[in-house]
Amino acid sequence: MRLDWGATCLVLTLLAGPVAAGDQAQKQQAAENKAEVLEQKAAENSNPAPVPKAEAITPSEVQAVDPKGAAPLDDAITCLARSIYWEAKGEDPADMEAVANVVMNRLGHEGFPDTVCKVVKQGSETRSCQFSWWCDGKSDSVQEEVPYAMAKEIARKALNKELPDRTQGALYFHDRTVKPDWAKEYIRTVDIGLFRFYKPHDGSAK
Cβ atoms 157, 88 nearer than 8 A: no
Burial class of residue 71 in the structure, from the number of CB atoms within 10 Å of its CB (0-12 exposed, 13-18 middle, 19+ buried): middle
C-alpha angle 50-53-58 in degrees, rounded to nearest 5:
100
Helix (H, G, I), strand (E, B) or coil at 191: strand
Q: Largest Cα–Cα distance in the chain?
A: 83
Residue 1 confidence (pLDDT)? 41
Cβ atoms 96, 192 nearer than 8 A: no
What is the residue-level pLDDT of the chain in tens, covering all 206 positions? Answer: 444 545 444 443 444 455 567 888 999 999 999 999 999 999 988 677 889 999 999 999 999 999 999 999 999 999 999 999 999 988 899 999 999 999 999 998 988 999 999 999 987 665 667 777 777 767 778 989 999 999 999 999 999 999 999 999 999 999 999 999 999 999 999 999 999 999 998 766 65
Whole-number Å distance between alpha carbons of 20 and 11 = 14
> pTM for the whole thing?
0.85
Q: How far apart are the first and last CA of the chain?
A: 77
Segment holding 102, helix H or strand E: helix 93-106
Residue 143 confidence (pLDDT)? 87
Helix (H, G, I), strand (E, B) or coil at 198: strand
The torsion of the CA quartet 149, 96, 193, 107, rounded to 10 degrees, works out to: 180
Cβ atoms 117, 73 nearer than 8 A: yes
